[in-house]
Structure 1
Amino acid sequence: MLKPGSTIGILGGGQLGRMLAIEGARLGYRCVGYAPEGDNVAAEVCADFFVARWDDTAALAAFAAQCDAITYEFENVPLSVFDTLPVEPVFPPRKALEVAQDRLAEKRFVEGLGGRPALHAAIDSRADLDDAVERIGTPGILKTRREGYDGKGQWRIASAHDAESVQLSGGPAIYEGFVDFGAEFSVILVRGQDGDVRFWESARNVHRDGILATSSLPAGEAIAGQVEETHALAKLVADALDYVGVLTLEFFATTNGPVFNEMAPRVHNSGHWTIEGAVTSQFANHMRAVAGLPLGDTATVAETVTMTNLIGKDSASAQTLLGEPDTHLHLYGKKQARAGRKMGHVTRLTRRTGSGQS
């Protein structure tokens, strides 16, 4: 258990790191960040921040020298960083990144635990793609196996003709058949160092142009009926990885049961509603887990919750939303609004009768 005044390092400088650092400070910890050059909005709320390349071993050593524990805010931190960091512990564990950084490895890992992903195939050549399209069928989606998020690194294939026109980049890819689903949802859990696992209520997610637009509660009957099965699978994943921190698994709700989409070994955009909508937010519980503290209650405190991402210029007039009842605005401090960029989010609550107004 980290004593108050200890330092927690955060790899990555985006909005997730920013919100983690805020919660770390509330728990009495000093947070130090590390990320390559960029719009590192987490730096504004960290006690210290290192701007250096991922392969700068001297900078990594200086960063680690300040840290009593280290975590990360996104899953594309190069694994080589963990080979050079001269400090333990790092939470979540390296194994979680190894699995999550490769979409094919991720699907095979979850399949091995009894999960059911979409039909898929590894793509390393034009012949592989042609065979996958013939075997799995269309429509489908071609994705890079590594990196890519918010719709980046993905190409929809509506027909065999579309597949012929795709220019393969030369890197490993994966082809997935489309899933006929009624809704999308996330399972978000936190696992402590003692193995204690707690779940937040699953929200219904709506995406636009490959980017999460809204997460809302209650999620509806189609999702509610599949939560028990997905919770069981998510716990198997967390236990198999000896996981510590917040873990997110995304699913499609179908008439034949839940279909696994992908996992994220970190706090997640679809869990932002927990800041105001749950007793303990995903950010607070992640930092509790990293510090070895008891986990907090994850119960929902409102009758309804809707989290809406503010993307691009949507954030320009966001402050006017504060005039609405029980509405909570989070702007991430990013300097330039551009299409597809998450600039902030707003959460609207309907309180349970007698619970009062925040």
Structure 2
Amino acid sequence: MCTSIYTTTTDQKHMLARTMDFSYPLASQPVFIPRKYTWNLAAATQTIENKYGFIGTGKNLGGAYFVADGVNEMGLAVAELYLPGEAVYHEDPLAEQLNLAPHEFILWLLGNCRSVDDVAQRLAAIRLIDIPVPVLGFVTPLHWIITDKTGACVVIEPTSLTEPLQFKQNPVGVMTNTPKLEWHIENLRNYLNTQPMQFASTTFGTFTADPFSQGTGTSGLPGGYTPPERFVRAAFFKEHIEAAKTETEGVHNAFEILSTVKIPKGIVQKSDQTDDYSQYISVMCNETSTFYYQDYNTNEISCVQLHDQLLASDQVVEFPISKTPIFKTF
């Protein structure tokens, strides 16, 4: 599951945001990964030393940190989402390529790339290997949405073993899950009748049918939580919400848009009767390298910026977050 959106404020702040929809309890939190952070590739004996510091949603698994989204000090932001039934990975590493487990790809992107163009120049050297996540014990079928300060928004979907990894331009600025991005974009053509404006009255013989109330223009929007339905709702709300003027307003808009696709506990259940729900929402600003985070259990939004003092640290920093509702009392 999961939904991601990319928006721009009128003062040209670019914001990548996402819901994390999952049934396994992730127990993650905002984590700062410093410059020169070193980690061992699961597919080989090679050790990677990151170049850039970044902040994202992460967790220590098996002695190393893994992240699902984040923004680095150069303004590159990335989120990984599920692509079940479509994502395919290589069985064997190649000595001449950088062999990454799927869950390691985002750690490499945020730690070593400065822009979408930088990723493009290095993408051919990446080979994704079919290796499970430590502790979890399964291979994650992933695709990635990548953005930067220029307004570029691209998607990487590893759906072929005969072709190298490549970018897909994302003109809508929305990503969910299976099917592939092209299908979702084409599917928007089924919703040309949805609009913010009220439909006018119409006649049937001598009877004039007036709208019951406001909102008739949105009556065609899908209301379920499948990836196609969430994609359409996110695209519609992103397109028509009142434009944000500043970063603060942009963060607020991102939470408002994602509230239309956020999954409460108990609404979507898997065959084993576990809840697939939105465990958190994160928002990243490319220009200020600021990370915003809200856990499912609270209305409080935590905020961490990659300021100079934090970037000077050579230690991983975990940021505790609230997991209870916050009320203002009078």
Structure ranking higher in helix proportion: 1
Q: What TM-score, normalized by structure 2, do the two folds share? A: 0.31
Q: Normalising by the residue count of structure 1, what TM-score does the alignment of the two structures yield?
A: 0.29
Higher RCO structure, 1 or 2 (CA under 8 Å, sep 6+): 2
